Structure 1
């Protein structure tokens, strides 16, 4: 429990883990199973806070479950839940007006005094390095916030993430060109073989005619 009185809400949990006995710890096995469970705990202070202070930290890129994402760390500085959260995110090339990525979410929730890394998935297309500008609008009931931040995706970040991401594979033009050249070569060889056979047949026919005339 906090040592002093406070306003707002403290949310967390108590995790209980069974203590292993001395005999269990001495077992020479590769895996030891341990059981734990968590009880949610919510503490209410002297009065509820109704106005939230929300900011946004530095935008980053990472990978979740094989998908590239752009993270928008929203920071709830207030000891109060942020309910019915709506977010609208648009990402542009810096200085441009065409939307590169966008995402709209509704019915979100943020815990008191917490940071939520809101992920914007970039789909199955490869992440491209460059300079970007993000415009983020957040709404929670009657509260509104808007953030605008420039960020950079370096070539190294894009290359590393794309190497392990699940991406949509485009047409392999080199494969198609190779197959086309192989088919063309086979056609040329077939034409050469047919003409060679025809030439031999004509030579044999000429030899037969010469023998008959003699």
Structure 2
């Protein structure tokens, strides 16, 4: 137990693993294999019946990547010793002073552990990240102590040119879309060239015909 008394709950776990002397070893085809096993038991600790009121803070918003794909991350902080369940997030990103959202993300049935941070990603869906000033508007709904709570956040942030450029270079979806676009431009250019050649040939033949007449 913690040295000092506390309100609310603590979440954690105990991990069990055999001592090194009890680990089984096997040899096959000259290769030594060591098998180690461990398991974890989840724990919830509560000392008092004091009801802790939930609270959420929006700490920061920034451009980022997850699995080499561009996202805008919003860091939410649960600064109370209470578990939030059935968490729903409705996030919209607007260009500065824009009226229509440029990116939208809606998710539900999430959880936020006590005294923890939730990094919420807003995907750019394979589009290139663009530098500029933006505004995040976010609505969060969660259940704590069998009651539904709601929060509304608004936060301005800036994507710098270097950030956008570096992230676009390593985004696998942006690269794929760029390659597809390049092929499309090549096909369109080739088609236009063929049409121009045909028109030139037709004009030359028509002039020769008129000259003979």
TM-score by length of 2: 0.74
| Aligned-partner Cα distance in 1 for 2:133–2:57 | 22
Counterparts in 2 of 1:1-214, with a 5 A limit? Answer: 1-20=1-20, 34-141=36-143, 142-165=148-171, 166-167=173-174, 169=177, 170-172=180-182, 173-176=184-187, 179-180=190-191, 183=194
Alignment length (residue pairs): 192
Gaps of 5+ in 1: 196-214
Gaps of 5+ in 2: 25-30, 206-213
Cα 1:85–1:185 shift into 2, 3 Å: closer
Give the secondary-structure state (helix, strand or coil) at the position aligned to 2:110: strand
Cα 1:181–1:102 shift into 2, 3 Å: closer
Deviation at 1:179, TM superposition (A): 2.8
- The structure with the largest alpha-carbon Rg is 1
When you count strand as a share of all residues, which structure comes out higher? 2
| Aligned-partner Cα distance in 2 for 1:31–1:92 | 55
Deviations 1:37-89 (A, max 9, x none): 22211111212534112101111222212321111111001101112222111
1:200 corresponds in structure 2 to none
1:199 corresponds in structure 2 to none
| Aligned-partner Cα distance in 2 for 1:32–1:14 | 23
TM-score by length of 1: 0.74
Is the CA contact 1:73–1:117 (under 8 Å) kept in the aligned structure 2? yes
| Aligned-partner Cα distance in 1 for 2:35–2:162 | 40
Let me know the Cα RMSD of the aligned residues: 3.3
| Aligned-partner Cα distance in 1 for 2:114–2:91 | 22
